Structure 1
Amino acid sequence: MPSNIDSVALYKTRKMLRELSSKTGKGTELISLYIPPKKALHEVLNNLREEYGTATNIKSDSTRNHVQDALTKTQQRLKLFKRTPENGIVLFVGSLMTNGPGSEQVFVNEIIPPKPVQTYLYRCDDHFHLEHLMDMIKEVDVIGVISIDSTEAGFGVLTGAKIVVNEVITSGVAGKTRAGGQSARRYERLREMNLSAYYNRVAKHAKKIFLEQNKIKGLIISGPGPTKDSFLKSDYLDYRLREKILTEVDGAYSGAEGVREAIDKSLDVLKDMRVIEEKKLIQRFLSEIHKEKSLAAYGIKEVMDATTKGAVEVIIASEDLNMLNILLKCNRCSTDKNKILNRTSYVQEKQKFLSESCESCQAVDFTITETDLIEILEDKASETGTRIEVLGSGSEEGRMLMSFSGLGAILRYRMQ
């Protein structure tokens, strides 16, 4: 996915989609509303008022009330906007149970999508229509990689920030002989026949992986020695793939290792892909960590402190950070206390935290606010002019960041 898409917006969109995908209504009472950038909000509000009038015909009192409540909340939310946002807006609104039957509350879920909404859509159903938003955030720039030499060939697919080595095949071609005479010529002919069969197999695998299983946008061919050049000069590769070749890379490796090397050596060609931006961030972060006078920090406390002090240039967070900030406000004396908890042990730790009395008045009556840690970091970053990047969990860089607790930072200056 192009790097100009906001990684935090993408993270929040994916998180909300995961949460909403399991939600269902008692009847056809959940509203899904997609508004394109050029759609005038006053037109949408008129449509919603008409839908409100139509909803009076619903026979079930419960369903009618829930639909009309949802429509009212939707109109109220839209009135907060002076104009349609640049990428449009998506709303998922409806009555959802919070603690069993009879505990329904109307929830308004607002998303400013990372890419423009294409079509106006209003649906009132027993589930939210998430498929259109899911399609919008799919990685669209898919790049294929073939890394080939005379012993093996690797086939990889690069999607956004995720690299997958789909398959590695061996050639079965023997090395060149130094013997002379007729036996040497016969051996060489057999070797050429085996190479030809190998090239055919490579071409068939490429067609299956890059045209049938994946719809690639471009293709990188890499590998050491003359095998790559010989393969390209022949007519084995499907013409549709030949037309998609972005670059040819002279590498030291083939197979799976060659696929990764090819991507590293194609930075100029792939500069608009998210994976390259993530690689550069992690390389810079690791480089700083190993310096004696390091401009890097990692760990939740360290990064939070540095961000609060305005010392951070860019925060690097993993999509798998999986942390929540719990803020408790005492209902008797209004004293606040907060704690950052891991979602995996969240229920147990939350109950323990709630059982601790207020330090000021010893009461145990609190109002709870729960916020994803990345959203907390986003707010802190906006206050100090700090950039924040969320790395995908499927990328090598994202997995590498998890070894540093899933959260790192590149600093503007060294902290004392």
Structure 2
Amino acid sequence: MSGNIDSVALYKTRKILKDLSSKSGKGTELISLYIPPKKALHDVLNNLREEYGTATNIKSDSTRNHVQDALTRTQQRLKLFKKTPENGLILFVGALRTNGPGSEEVVVNEIVPPKPVQTYLYRCDDHFQLEHLMEMIKEVDIIGIISIDATEAGFGILSGDHVEVDEVITSGVGGKTRAGGQSARRYERLREMNLSSYYNRVAEHAKKIFLEQYTIKGLIISGPGPTKDAFIKSDYLDYRLKNKILTEVDGAYSGAEGVREAIDKSADVLADMRIIEEKKLIQRFLSEIHKEKSLAIYGINEVMDAINRGAVEVILASEDLNMLKILLKCKRCSTEKSKLIKRTEYVQEKQEILNQTCVSCKSRDFNITETDLIEILEDLAGESAAKIEVLGSKSEEGKMLLSFGGLGAILRYKIN
């Protein structure tokens, strides 16, 4: 996936996958439906009507009712579409427990996938068929990085917004001697032999990591000039990896620090990688923070206020923001009350809410809904023509955003 992905859609898809992967049905009553772009919706609806008829043969009353309810909800959702979306459509529908036994409610999860669905699939099972979607959102462009000097070599993997330093090995090669004469020549010959052995080990590690453990699209080699150049020009590196070299970077560092430096210095080559886009956003945010007339803000209240005033150009939200808005609505008088909480506080907060009474009519009977804060921000951004970007939390840039509370914004103009 490249840098032009819809980061909010990807965030929501990952959240749905995480949630549904832990769900199971009482019987074979959970529907998974994958519709390719060229599949006519009226054909799909006909198939579902046939499945509804077949479901009448299910012996268990509860399973039969759950399957037919899920099929009905699936058909209702499909009828909202005039035609199949450009990338197709994925639906996960089924009766899921909201509390204990007997609390099942039919839930519809609709996903417009990030890339075209390849094969039509209808499955009714005791779990959702998530594997195909998981494959679709995997990062396909994996870049390998070798950062090498005469003392150590680091091996890194760049995939989307994630950088991983897979391994660092040391050379065991001593520095150059200042002595003269035969001892100096003997020392240099020994040093060259040790360097050759070290280069062989680097090449073997590269082969193992970049050809066996991962399938890389390209390779970046960085480090101080002479060692890096000697390694590249020699025949140590497997020809399959040599053919994948995207760029050679003159750097000041090797090892783990050199891997990160290589990414920074390869921005042009990696322009389509998500991490480069995130770096640019965070660098712009940080540069604004330090200006006297700053156009950067952070914090939930500050960002929400700026959005409501139409002053936000782009919202920066961490995928680990983990905030929910809980909305209580009294079933008797419809009085509403809302609260923003951390996701980890949800169970405790919900229990406290259930012990409260309505401020208007003293009823204890509430409807409770919870909405992810990022989804709320997405709606607000749409109303004010702002952009929203969800940033990964594993990169250096993602960690920087988390240090500001996981939420920031760049403004169109300065506000008081």
**TM-score scaled by structure 1?**
0.97
Q: Quick check: 2:393–2:402 contact (8 Å CA) kept in 1?
A: no
Cα distance, 1:55 vs. partner? 1.8
Report Cα offsets for 1:49-98 as digits up to 9, x if no partner.
Answer: 12122222222222222212211111111001001111211101111222
Q: Quick check: 1:5–1:115 contact (8 Å CA) kept in 2?
A: no
Name 1:305's counterpart in structure 2: 305
Cα distance, 1:356 vs. partner? 4.5
Distance 1:196 1:102 in 2: 70
CA 1:101/1:330 → structure 2, altered by over 3 Å: closer, same or farther? closer
Distance 1:321 1:8 in 2: 13
Name 2:80's counterpart in structure 1: 80
1:166 and 2:166 aligned: yes
Q: Quick check: 1:316–1:408 contact (8 Å CA) kept in 2?
A: yes
Q: Quick check: 2:48–2:75 contact (8 Å CA) kept in 1?
A: yes
SS of 2:124's equivalent in the other structure is strand
Name 1:192's counterpart in structure 2: 192
Distance 1:61 1:351 in 2: 33
Q: Quick check: 2:36–2:116 contact (8 Å CA) kept in 1?
A: yes
Name 2:403's counterpart in structure 1: 403
Distance 1:351 1:62 in 2: 29
The 5-angstrom pairing of residues 16-415 of structure 1 reads 16-415=16-415
Paired amino acid for 2:25: G
Distance 2:97 2:356 in 1: 28
The 5-angstrom pairing of residues 5-20 of structure 1 reads 5-20=5-20
CA RMSD of aligned residues (A): 1.4
Cα distance, 1:309 vs. partner? 1.0
Cα distance, 1:297 vs. partner? 1.0
Paired amino acid for 1:286: L
Report Cα offsets for 1:332-351 as digits up to 9, x if no partner.
Answer: 44332211011112222233
Report Cα offsets for 1:136-158 as digits up to 9, x if no partner.
Answer: 11111110100111111111110
Name 1:4's counterpart in structure 2: 4
Distance 1:411 1:363 in 2: 43
Distance 1:152 1:98 in 2: 54
SS of 1:118's equivalent in the other structure is coil
SS of 1:313's equivalent in the other structure is strand
Cα distance, 1:179 vs. partner? 2.2
Long gaps (5+) in structure 2: none
Cα distance, 1:355 vs. partner? 4.3
Q: Quick check: 2:160–2:274 contact (8 Å CA) kept in 1?
A: yes
Distance 1:360 1:415 in 2: 37
Distance 1:108 1:341 in 2: 25
Distance 1:193 1:107 in 2: 66
Which stretch of the first structure deviates more once superposed, 204-213 or 322-331? 322-331
Cα distance, 1:273 vs. partner? 0.3
Report Cα offsets for 1:153-207 as digits up to 9, x if no partner.
Answer: 1111101111111111111111112322222222111111111001000000101
Long gaps (5+) in structure 1: none
Paired amino acid for 1:193: M
Distance 2:356 2:405 in 1: 27
Distance 1:404 1:80 in 2: 41
SS of 1:32's equivalent in the other structure is strand
Report Cα offsets for 1:313-343 as digits up to 9, x if no partner.
Answer: 0001011111100112233443322110111
CA 1:355/1:297 → structure 2, altered by over 3 Å: closer, same or farther? farther
Q: Quick check: 1:308–1:380 contact (8 Å CA) kept in 2?
A: yes
Cα distance, 1:103 vs. partner? 2.0
Distance 2:104 2:357 in 1: 30
Q: Quick check: 1:162–1:396 contact (8 Å CA) kept in 2?
A: no
Paired amino acid for 1:305: D
Which stretch of the first structure deviates more once superposed, 16-25 or 54-63? 54-63
CA 1:331/1:54 → structure 2, altered by over 3 Å: closer, same or farther? closer
Cα distance, 1:36 vs. partner? 1.1
Report Cα offsets for 1:342-389 as digits up to 9, x if no partner.
Answer: 111222223334545444455444322211100000000000001001
**TM-score scaled by structure 2?**
0.97
Distance 2:415 2:363 in 1: 38
Cα distance, 1:308 vs. partner? 1.1
After superposing on structure 2, the runs of 4+ consecutive aligned residues of structure 1 that deviate more than 6 Å are none
Distance 2:115 2:299 in 1: 32
Distance 1:369 1:345 in 2: 15
Paired amino acid for 1:10: L
SS of 2:225's equivalent in the other structure is coil
